[in-house]
Amino acid sequence: MSERVLQVDALARVEGEGALYVRLKGNEIEKVEFRIFEPPRFFEAFLQGRDGHEAPDITSRICGICPIAYIMGASQAMEQALGVAVTPEIHALRRLIYCGEWIQSHVLHAAMLHAPDFLGLHDAIKIAEVDPELVKTALRLKKIGNSLMEVVGGRSVHPVNTRVGGFYSAPEKARVKALLGELEWGIEAARKVALAFSQFDFPGDEHDYTFVSLKDPDTYAICEGRLVSNRGLDIAVETFNDHFFEEHVARSNALHGRMKDGSPYLVGPLARYANNYEQLSEGAKETADMCGLGRVVSNQYKSILVRMVETQYALEEAARIVRDYEEPKPSFVETPPKAGEGHGCTEAPRGICYHTYKLDGEGRITHAQIVPPTSQNQPQIEADLTRVVTANMDMADADLQWLCEQTIRNYDPCISCATHFLKLTVERN
Amino acid sequence: MLIVGIGNAFRSDDGVGPFVADALAAKGLPALVHAGDGTGLIDLFETHAALVLVDATRSGAAPGTLVTFDAVAQKLPAELFHYSTHRFGLAEAVETARALGSLPQSLTVHGIEGGDFGQGMRLSDPVKAAADALIEKLCEISRPNG
């Protein structure tokens, strides 16, 4: 029986070092592996013995694309361990900078890295030649995200103004208010990009996913809420480890996250959208409707549309916070050291990012656990690849490989995060 | 003119761009380190008429080899500059800007071949020597009337 091997040694347009390996014997799949060979980074180990206040800045270095997810999750966990609560004004400012990260991350992935897949283009440079206006719009949108990060966080990559308890200094009111014009332009621009992308030819691949996300009754959850799923899960963040686990697999330097019953689950834009559709703004819901999206989207290739709907939402939400903004006084709450245990969970652009820490009497970290979204999505990525290869067995190798890579890019995987992982191999027997 | 160093200072020779930019900034010259993905570079092209970019290359040449491109006149080889960010790097930024008609009037790209891209904050000897020579050269051309 003939053997086919599809292999991509270094996946393009993903963050970090990963590979894909598929081996087929006749029409039987022998192996489908999403391999992460980015070296392990041991953050949880070297946090031990450090002052709890250092955790947000240290963990933010896990990722240059989504540092806010780490800063916020670690800060929440420390604040819980130390028994302090931040003021509503500080919470709003945190939501504002998190909107900046969503805008920056979603626009970069959707327009520059994922859209070329649907246009049959190999890279973002070609997309600038084919549709320069789209790229100009995307770059301007992304710049809005960068500006939010700079004004609130002090700089656009690895912000320096954030701390446990709040912010070192309150961003100046005039600088924050000056963001409003671009935010308002961005809301309509994000819709136009979403509508342009909705004309793409999407592979038909509907799947009944287990969607896991945060949920808050009052707002589209970003840094607040309980952990819920579309299958009835509804738990406090503190009980994460009672319902989910991580395991080592030989093919990946990133742990694989699963539900306690061993099943894979999906985190990220589709999960948030399915669980929290009601909390979206009317404008974002209207854009989703204009793009032909239903109340639940179960085709991961359409995650590009949900990312743009979420981008529009983040722009609207940022504009709302900016309009109401007054400099918080004080800009942080005091966080004296003490022994304790804390948990934090926020919605990174790619999905939930969970942190838990234990502190000794001097506030030093004795235990740290960080569960980033790409680790959690890996088993689902492999399940998606198996389904896509099974359904498209007759495709020529080059086309099947392209589709497999696209399937992985649906997830906007952040390999640096997951190794705190991409490379493709398809073998046919 | 603005000199921009690109790279990761925590990845040994990949930090040569930041090393050069920091040294020039310390001498009072207009130089900065660019962090993050390449899209931010395109923003700089819009605000500066003349830019000099410094990045590490990984072509298989001898460590410390300097290559210089007039990026306005010629296309930048993506395979040389793929190491500083995996997602959207220097070559992507320059070629995207070219396609958009957003290149500055003058854009020079200096690439210094790295030998060691492992974790660490030290430049290898041949890369450090090439960086020092480039710093001197850029100092000369940055001087008023120079």
Lowest mean pLDDT among A192-196, A216-220, A247-251, A283-287: A247-251
Region A312-341: what's the mean pLDDT?
97
List of residues 6+ apart from A157 with CB closer than 8 A: A64, A67, A149, B35, B36
Contact residues on chain B for A17, CB-CB shorter than 8 A: 86
Q: How far is B64 from chain A (nearest CA, A)?
A: 25
Q: Mutate one of A42, A125, A134, A137 to test the B interface: name it (highest B CB count within 10 A).
A: A125
Nearest to B100 among A128, A146, A158 (CB): A128
Q: Which CATH superfamily groups domain A51-379?
A: Cytochrome-c3 Hydrogenase, chain B (1.10.645.10)
Strand arrangement, sheet containing B106-113: B31-34, B2-6, B50-57, B106-113, B66-70
Domains contained in chain B, CATH given: 2-142 (3.40.50.1450)
User: Chain A contact for B92, CB < 8 A?
Assistant: yes
**Between vectors from CA A379 to CA A378 and to CA A383, what angle results, nearest 5°?**
115
Contact A304, A297 (CB under 8 A): no
Whole-number Cα distances in Å, B27 to A371, A409, B22, B31, B142: 44, 44, 9, 9, 11
pLDDT tens string A90-105: 999 999 999 999 999 9
Region A115-123: what's the mean pLDDT?
84
Q: What is the pTM of this model?
A: 0.90
CA–centroid distance for A347 within its chain: 7
User: What pLDDT is attached to residue A53?
Assistant: 96
Cross-chain Cβ contact A156/B35 below 8 Å: yes
pLDDT tens string A211-236: 999 999 999 999 999 999 999 999 99
List of residues 6+ apart from A320 with CB closer than 8 A: none
CA dihedral A359, A164, A245, A19 (to 10 degrees): -130
Residue whose token pair is 């989207």? A297
When the pLDDT of each residue in chain A is averaged and rounded to a whole number, the result is: 91
For chain A, the structural domain boundaries read 51-379
Contact residues on chain A for B37, CB-CB shorter than 8 A: 64-65, 108
pLDDT (tens place) for every residue of chain B, 146 residues total = 999 999 888 889 999 999 999 999 999 999 999 877 788 889 899 899 999 999 998 888 999 999 999 999 999 887 777 543 346 778 888 988 999 999 999 999 999 999 998 889 999 999 999 999 999 999 998 876 54
Contact residues on chain A for B100, CB-CB shorter than 8 A: 128, 132, 135-136
Q: How far is B63 from chain A (nearest CA, A)?
A: 23
Complex ipTM over 0.85: no
User: What pLDDT is attached to residue B145?
Assistant: 53
Tally Cβ neighbours within 10 Å of residue A26: 13
Q: Mutate one of B88, B90, B102 to test the A interface: name it (highest A CB count within 10 A).
A: B88
Whole-number Cα distances in Å, A425 to A205, A340, B33, B87: 22, 46, 37, 20
CA distance A194 to A285: 12
User: What pLDDT is attached to residue A416?
Assistant: 61
